[in-house]
Amino acid sequence: MKVLLTGGSGLLGGYLLREFARRDCGVIAWSGPRSKTPAVGEPAPVDLVERDAVAAAFAAARPDVVLHAAAISSVAQCREQPERARAVNVLGTQLLMELAAEAHARLVLVSTDLVFDGARGGYREDDAPSPLSFYGKTKLAAEGLVLGQPRAAVARVSLLFGPSVNRRRGFFDEQLGRLRSGSPAPFFVDEWRTPLALPTAAAALATLAVGEFEGLLHLGGPERMSRWEMGTRLAAHLRCDASACLPASRTEAPSSEAPRPEARPRDTSLDSSRWRALLPQHPWPTFEDALSEMGLPPGSP
């Protein structure tokens, strides 16, 4: 089975490539457009808004499965560049859907918990989405294109955490750096998610991609946590000074940290019962266990 992975240069993409390599699965990976030529072995740049280029690259790949993890995922960038966000997140998904249908290939879309407004949390797959951000709206539109297609699936993924395994640096890497140096790091006390370790997400998505499940699936972690709890538990696990974790509010965030006119959802925690029933043998580590498994053992600041 040959898998086409979009978003191969992203944080999740790095873990997915490692997971597919572990399974000895043939993968062709794409990244977004780049200003520099990729190094040997890195994903090939394919801009999802360039229809002819995408079609040519797809024809060359001849995939059996498309795992579509590429997106403009920055809430701020989507708000500031709505046309680009729609072109990549919605129209790019539509193009891949059309190409997959023509090739009789399976399509699996990676979506987000931010399709919900966060009014209550504990969201199940049959709960009505109502995104607050333009990013969430583009992902919901992409879901609508994919759901109902033959052999297609959508996986809504919660907040992902873990150190980068490629050249893409993320928010978690920034948190680690701040905590290890003792620099102040703000964490929201009034925003809840079900954080999911990147290796766990990659394993679940790889299994889903090569499987036969059709429809909608929630992939969240086993614990509902605020960002503040995540920060303080990370500091405690690493035996760093937890006083560097500064409590902050999602409604009163400093403009230098999160300048945003869009409302930020309060609680987008996911109910992952369907996933756990589908794959009960799949690992589902706690926050601290996941940190240790990712090479961050206790007491290793």
Residuewise pLDDT in 10s, the chain (301 residues) = 899 999 999 999 999 999 999 998 899 999 988 655 566 567 889 999 999 999 999 999 999 999 999 999 999 999 999 999 999 999 999 999 999 999 999 999 999 999 999 999 999 999 999 999 999 999 999 999 999 899 999 999 999 999 999 988 888 999 898 898 889 988 999 999 999 999 999 999 999 999 999 999 999 999 999 999 999 999 999 999 888 899 999 887 554 444 557 888 999 999 999 999 999 999 999 999 999 999 998 876 6
Would you state the pLDDT for residue 37?
59
Q: Does this chain's domain 2-161+194-219 share its CATH topology with 171-192+224-267? A: no
DSSP-derived secondary structure for 92-110? HHHHHHHHHHHHT-EEEEE
Q: Does domain 2-161+194-219 bear CATH number 3.30.2020.30?
A: no
What CA–CA distance (Å, rounded) separates 45 from 38? 8
Cα separation, 298 vs 301, in Å, equals 8
CATH number for the domain running over 171-192+224-267: 3.90.25
Q: What is the pTM of this model?
A: 0.93
Of 73, 187, 62, 200, give the one whose Cα is nearest residue 139: 73
Residue 6's DSSP bridge partners are: 68
Domain ranges of the chain: 2-161+194-219, 171-192+224-267
b (16+ CB within 10 A) / e for 58-70: beebebbbbbbbb
